[in-house]
A and B are shown apart, each in its own frame.
Chain A
Amino acid sequence: MKRLIYIFAALVALSSCTISEGGNSDQNLVAKMAASMAISEVQQQIHILSYAQTIDYYSQAGDGEREIIEDQHLPNVRLRQTDNGWKVVRNGQDLFSFVCNGALNEEGSVWNVYLAQDTSLTNDHWWQIKCIGENRWHLDQMIHYVERSVNIALDVKAGEQIQGQLQSSPIYKYEIEGECEITQDEVVVAPYRVKMKIIEPIVFDNYQYHSGFSGTAFTEGRLSMRVTDYKTGEAVVAPFHYWISPEHSNVKIEYLMTE
């Protein structure tokens, strides 16, 4: 009888076990997400700049050359001239409007850009491209999406053309400096503010991936990042530096106790 009780007690002790393992414990996940948000905004900016450069090139080209530009860079959209600039049209609908006061590469010229079709945008938004030298522009953006607002200021130096079609990504090589601030809508998501400052210029260029695939990517650059709860002022994650790499596994994050 005693033996039975001992073994029963042992069975009780052994009955506790793990049913399923835990979820993703990646401690860098929030840092990576914040950096990705900021980099994604930078990419949008230089994508708009690539459109502007192509439109500028198109506006100065002759008839025969224009067809080549359309075939090479803009196979799915059409450019239409307006009273004060250009608009990009796809399937009969306006995508962007560019209001221009001179050639894009003329120092001091300013191009204002408007998104024509996007229900996620409020009315309170604008893009501006200002020429600050040959192949150098200052980009400003203040935009309110439904879920977040973005304030971004970049100095961009353009290089050679690195790919053809404009539809999916920028087509020139770029070197970018500047900063941005992304504020999430408290009601829709969470009251978090992401501040990014480029401390080593970001480079957008061709890249040959280890897998043999080649494409365009942000190949280098270092960001100083802060993610805070703007209601309490507390840091959501410790301030950190983020080294950009096109290979996800080579991205480096260094947390700073003080900055």
Chain B
Amino acid sequence: MKRTLLIAIALLVGSAASAQSAKDRPSFDFSLRNGAEHKHEVRLTVGVTPIFEDDFFVYNEPAIVERYHNVIYPSDLTYRGALKTSGGYALSYMYSPLRWLSVGLYAGYVCEWQPTHLRSTQAITSITKERHLMLVPTVRFTYLNRPIVRLYSSIGIGVGFCRERIRNVDGHIEANYSDRFCPAEVTFLGVSVGRRLFGFAELSVGSMGCCSAGIGYKF
């Protein structure tokens, strides 16, 4: 899985550059001028393995509630299955007042879901779905700024809204919670390749994932 992702990211970055070669130039105006001259930028980002503070909470260990030993609780009849995520999706806008500095924000969305199974038959009794919407102001520092390749790091912290729904197999909503949270993202290393239209890949930790990639456009 990881290898597939790395290959996909490499392909994306590579193809973003090759997409602008003279041989395969897009039909509309992607000029070959240095992209750094353009101060505005929009990006579409896909992140893998977004991390939220409650993702690794062990639901099956009722540590919070005092339990009597040697008794059976309703929760003992079921167990939580694997926690899965859709990945993170974001649309971002950045403005570069200086060649090495960009500021902006992204609007992101992440969905996570986890089934609850009956121990006796393994049948699914309900599915917990958690949707996260977030708005994260970001500052980006570009430390290599070449006409085609740029290396950068960034940091962002913002506000988020989360809604959790537990729906049983009949579709009936058993529980419905919503809460605010504080999404954060630190990109240790990002590389973008291309001029006006470019591809990028990032190694980071936070609400959009451990690694992310996407396409962007400067104007």
A: residues with CB less than 8 A from B are: 1, 3-4, 7-8, 10-12, 14-30, 33-34, 36-37, 40, 147-148, 184, 188-190, 192, 194, 227, 236-238
B: residues with CB less than 8 A from A are: 1, 4-5, 8-9, 11-12, 15-16, 19, 26-27, 44, 46-49, 51, 55-56, 58-60, 68, 70-74, 76-77, 79-89, 112, 114-115, 117, 119-122, 197, 199, 209, 213-215
Among B60, B82, B112, B215, contact of A4 (Cβ-Cβ < 8 Å)? B215
Flag if B72 contacts A14 (CB, 8 Å). no
Known: A4-B15, A19-B84, A19-B112. A189 touches B117 (CB 8 A): no
Nearest-neighbour CB distance to chain A for B35, whole angstroms, equals 16
A25 CA / B120 CA spacing, docked (Å): 9
Nearest-neighbour CB distance to chain A for B199, whole angstroms, equals 7
Flag if B48 contacts A15 (CB, 8 Å). yes
Cβ of B81: which chain A residues have Cβ within 8 Å of it?
Answer: 22-23, 25
Q: Which of B19, B72, B119 has the most CB of A within 10 A?
A: B72
Flag if A23 contacts B58 (CB, 8 Å). yes
Cβ of A15: which chain B residues have Cβ within 8 Å of it?
Answer: 46-48, 86-89, 209
Listed A/B pairs (7) with beta-carbon separation below 8 Å: A3-B19, A7-B11, A14-B48, A26-B119, A40-B70, A147-B68, A189-B68
Flag if B120 contacts A238 (CB, 8 Å). yes
Cβ of A192: which chain B residues have Cβ within 8 Å of it?
Answer: 72
A184 CA / B79 CA spacing, docked (Å): 21
Flag if B121 contacts A27 (CB, 8 Å). yes
Nearest-neighbour CB distance to chain B for A234, whole angstroms, equals 11
